[in-house]
Amino acid sequence: MDLIAILSGFGVGAIVGLTGVGGGSLMTPLLLTVFKLNPAVAIGTDLWFAAITKTSGSVAHHRHGHVDYRILAWLLLGSIPAAIGTIALMHFTGVTKGWAAALTFSLGIALLLTAVTVAFKQIWLAVGLRLERWIPEQRKAALTVLSGFVLGVLVSLSSIGAGAIGATLILILNPRIDARRLVGTDIAHAVPLTLVAGIGHATLGHVDWVLLVSLLIGSIPGIWIGAQLTRQLPDRLIRSLLCVSLVTAGLKVIT
pLDDT in tens, 21-60: 656 677 888 888 889 898 889 999 999 998 888 887 788 7
Distance (Å, rounded) from C-alpha 144 to C-alpha 135? Answer: 12
CB atoms within 10 A of CB 3: 9
- Average the pLDDT over each of 163-167, 201-205, 226-230 and give the range with the smallest value: 226-230
Q: What is the largest CA-CA distance in the chain?
A: 54
138 alpha carbon, distance to own chain's centre: 28
Report the candidate in 234, 47, 21, 182 with the shortest Cα–Cα distance to residue 114. 21
Distance (Å, rounded) from C-alpha 150 to C-alpha 153? Answer: 5
pTM for the full predicted model:
0.83
Domain ranges (residues) in the chain: 2-254
Q: Own/partner pairs for 55-59, CB < 8 Å, 24+ apart?
A: 55/191, 57/187, 58/184, 58/187, 58/188, 58/190, 58/191
Nearest-10 crossing angle of helices 39-63, 209-229: 50
pLDDT in tens, 150-163: 999 989 988 887 77
Q: Is the predicted pLDDT of residue 146 greater than 80, yes or no? A: yes
pLDDT in tens, 70-119: 999 999 999 999 999 999 998 888 765 566 677 777 777 777 777 777 67
Of 144 and 244, the structure prediction assigns the larger pLDDT to 144
